[in-house]
Amino acid sequence: MSILNMLPPVKGLLQENADVGKRSWFGTGGPAEVLFVPADMDDLVVFLRNLPQDIAITPLGAMSNVLIRRSGIRGVAIMLGDWFKKIFVDENVLEVGAAVHCNELATVAMYHELGGLEFLIGLPGTVGGAIKMNAGSNGVGISNVMMECEAVTSSGLVKWVRVTDMDFGYRHSSVADDLIITRAWFRGIPNASYSITKRTKELLSKRTESQPTGVRTCGSTFKNPDSKKAWELIDAAGCRGLRIGGAAVSEKHCNFIINEDNATPEDIENLAQSVAQRVFDKTGIALEWEIILLGDK
């Protein structure tokens, strides 16, 4: 029996065997057993409240830091659509839908002359995903500017979570894997003592100069170990330009793995594991994945 027959009716999209891997930033990977794109908040809540408890859910954002293995995602993958892409600005507070891209949030803050969010420019993910992993750059994480967020549990309970209750750390939060962030509130800095537009453009230029663009990649593969840069360890281990199958370590920034020539998920995962092993053999340091791996190996 198809899993679709076990799911409650929805107003939004339900798609069986959805090719989400091809839609990820790596451009490769397995399908979702079912993809659900809710029409609005009510559609999401009602669906979760009536979903059989034995069916797993996996929230997906822009899939800019996700590698989906060939086996794909079992159960229901949930991707927030247009209803969750709104931004409202009230004085120095920004109310932001979780499906808004970080780049757009930084741009809107710049246009409203609100400082503090420039670091988000050029980050590839959505606000929901950025909160989950406390994404950031230049020493600033999204937790530094967030006030609170709205989220829905796997059982359809809507809750509000303050930033102080989310146990944020470096590329980490205590957000449960099946908790779906739907909105967040950020505080900008009015009357900043610097040019927000100039700072935003400088950060974007710096990112473009130092990182590969226009290629299929999911950003930093590994987290920076304590007081060290992952890319420096990878470079010192002789991994710049290393290849397995269609996957390659970027020549421009060697903490980036690129789908260079129709790489499979196995190519990318095996290359990352080879890099991590070479770094460990040389330094004794075990690199930790920053990219999220989904699906059974």
Give catalytic residues, as residue numbers. Answer: 171, 220, 290
Long-range CB pairs of 18-22, under 8 A, 24+ apart, other chains included: 18/77, 20/60, 20/63, 20/68, 20/72, 20/73, 20/77, 20/79, 21/68, 21/72, 21/265
The neighbour count for residue 73, using CB atoms within 10 Å, is 26
C-alpha–C-alpha distance, residues 140 and 138, integer Å: 6
Three-class SS state of 81: coil
Amino acid at the residue 31: P
Bridge pairing between strands 256-259 and 217-220: antiparallel
The one-character DSSP state at 151 is: E
Give the C-alpha distances (Å, rounded to integers) separating 28 from 16, 123, 218, 269.
18, 21, 11, 12
